[in-house]
Amino acid sequence: MLPRDDNERVCRVGPGTPMGEVFRRYWLPVCVSTQIAAPDSDPLRVSLLGERLVVFRDSNGKVGVLDELCPHRGASLALGRVEECGIRCLYHGWKFAVDGTILDTPNNRDEAFKKRVKATSYPVREEGGLVWAYLGPAAKLPAFTRYAFMDVPDEHRTVLRVNVKANYLQLLEGGFDSSHVGILHSNVARPGWIDNAVTRSTDETNPANLSIDDNAPTLDPENTDFGFYYAAFRQAADAAGAINVRVVPFILPSTRIIPAPSQHFTVFETPADDESTSTFLVIHGKAPVDRARAIALLGLDDPRCWSEHDCAFKPTWADRFGQDRARMRDSWSGLNGVEQEDAVIALSMGPIFDRSKEHLVPADRAVVRVRQRLLEATRVVEKGGDPVGVGVDLSDVGAPDVNVAQDTNWRTLVPHHGIPITKGQTVRELLKLAS
């Protein structure tokens, strides 16, 4: 359980909150590039860390992220005209460049005024199919963080955004909870569950593709310079005596990389505000990614659930989140697909779950580590330091899911990122297996 004070500390992300100050020290995804696809396309209104922003692409293709409300008298720039290399407020026609410079003030002839005032703008990058912004102090602007998915051809990557009305930590914790994969996601993880058979999913794009029905895997988390790795061990189904090791990195402030046999899912749980989250899923691999298939696997192929148009995850208690109880003889959850199941569970907890009421078990070890790393970061930032992971190049960080011999030290399977190479035990020692 987490004391109420710590729960508040780790969940709230608005300006001036301890966790909000941590989030503001990293480059964060703001939107998918395709949401402002072409020069002078419609501006996009977004919330990030409790702040309202407008994102637009100017006539030259450059992207700007500004405070949403016009610095004149507060009309929303998201209603504005995007034209001639700027965004123009509808109310009195003030026009702003991507860096917030005022280009025109039709109701004010004082030329010097334009140099004195600026719209609040944020540093922006566009990489890997996403628009990124930095909302922190200018003096602390970190190097841009690179991920492996930024270095593949565009057709080998697809990016999805799902807006869920729940606190980011409820969604994030699901990513560090290996034991739920074979239970909540029974239908895609272990399709033999209905007959008590050990039947492995054959879908190589499926991130819930587990090697065996082992829902109480042994976990071994290890801190790194970006957060931590955790390894989950299960008896391997298809190699006598071998052990399956599935390693998932936690990257501060709220990112994880999930392995599927043929591709990786890099997932960002980016807080829009305290009670809603933009989940950005970047799927990439060595071959072209089939976007429609990914959407179906995630359970997002039903317009009552989600659409590309507004990215909103729509199910609510009003329709019991779309759960079909009549199907639950054959469907574990009565829901469809991995993301649909994860989002519904997070929503079912309410907007911000009170973790002082929970009862943790050893399978929650990595969830506890997530909270520890985040709370540590709030204390470091309060003391004027830099939180872990800021500016670290992550392009070599992946998520292996492999069968290994029992005398393997799993730490040799990953780029070490600060783990002493000699550290750790073999799989046999961790699992206390007989040699």
**Candidate residues 81, 92, 156, 291; the one interacting with ligand FES per rule CB under 6 A:** 92
Residue 311 binds which of ligand FES, Fe ion, none (CB < 5-8 A, kind-dependent):
none
CB closer to ligand FES out of 73 and 115: 73
Choose the one of Fe ion, ligand FES, none that binds residue 398, judging by a C-beta under 5 to 8 angstroms depending on kind.
none
Q: Which of 52, 72, 146, 156 binds ligand FES (CB under 6 A)?
A: 72
In the bound state with ligand FES, the residue whose beta carbon lies nearer, of 76 and 426, is: 76
Binding of ligand FES by 91 (CB under 6 A): yes
Within 10 Å of residue 122's Cβ, how many Cβ atoms?
22
Residue 73 binding: pick among ligand FES, Fe ion, none (C-beta 5-8 Å cut-off by kind): ligand FES
146 binds ligand FES (CB under 6 A): no
Q: CB under 5 to 8 A by kind: which of ligand FES, Fe ion, none does 148 bind? A: none
For residue 94, state whether it binds ligand FES (rule: CB under 6 A): yes
Q: Is 357 in the site for ligand FES (CB under 6 A)?
A: no
Residue 342 binding target from Fe ion, ligand FES, none, CB below 5 to 8 Å by type: Fe ion
Binding residues for Fe ion, rule: CB under 5 A, are 174, 342
CB closer to ligand FES out of 89 and 289: 89
Interface stretch with ligand FES, choices 48-56, 66-74, 127-135, 280-288 (CB under 6 A): 66-74
Instruction: Return the residue nearest Fe ion (CB atom).
Output: 342
Q: If contact means CB under 5 to 8 A according to the sort of partner, which of Fe ion, ligand FES, none does residue 91 touch?
A: ligand FES
Q: Map the chain to HEC letters.
A: CCCHHHHHHHHCCCCCCHHHHHHCCCEEEEEEHHHHCCCCCCCEEEEECCEEEEEEECCCCCEEEEECECCCCCCEHHHCEEECCEEECCCCCCEECCCCEEEECCCCCCHHHHHHCECCECCEEEECCEEEEECCCHHHCCCCCCEHHHHCCHHHEEEEEEEECCCHHHHHHHCCCHHHHHHHCHHHHCHHHHHCCCCCCCCCCCCCCCCCCCCCCEEEEEECCCEEEEEEEEECCCCCCCEEEEEEEEECCCEEEEECCCEEEEEEEEEEECCEEEEEEEEEECCCCCHHHHHHHCCCCCCCCCCCCCCECCCCHHHHHHCCHHHCCCCCCCCCCHHHHHHHHHHHCCCCCCHHHCCCCHHHHHHHHHHHHHHHHHHHHHCCCCCCCCCCCECCCCCCEEEECCCCCHHHHCCCCCCCCCCCCCHHHHHCCCC
Residue window 399-428: x/- pattern of binding to ligand FES, with contact defined by CB under 6 A: ------------------------------
**Per-residue contact flags (x/-) with ligand FES for residues 19 to 48, judged by CB under 6 A:** ------------------------------
Residue with Cβ nearer ligand FES (89 or 374): 89
Q: Smallest gap, in angstroms, from Cβ of residue 56 to ligand FES?
A: 15
Q: Site residues (CB under 6 A) for ligand FES?
A: 70, 72-75, 89, 91-92, 94
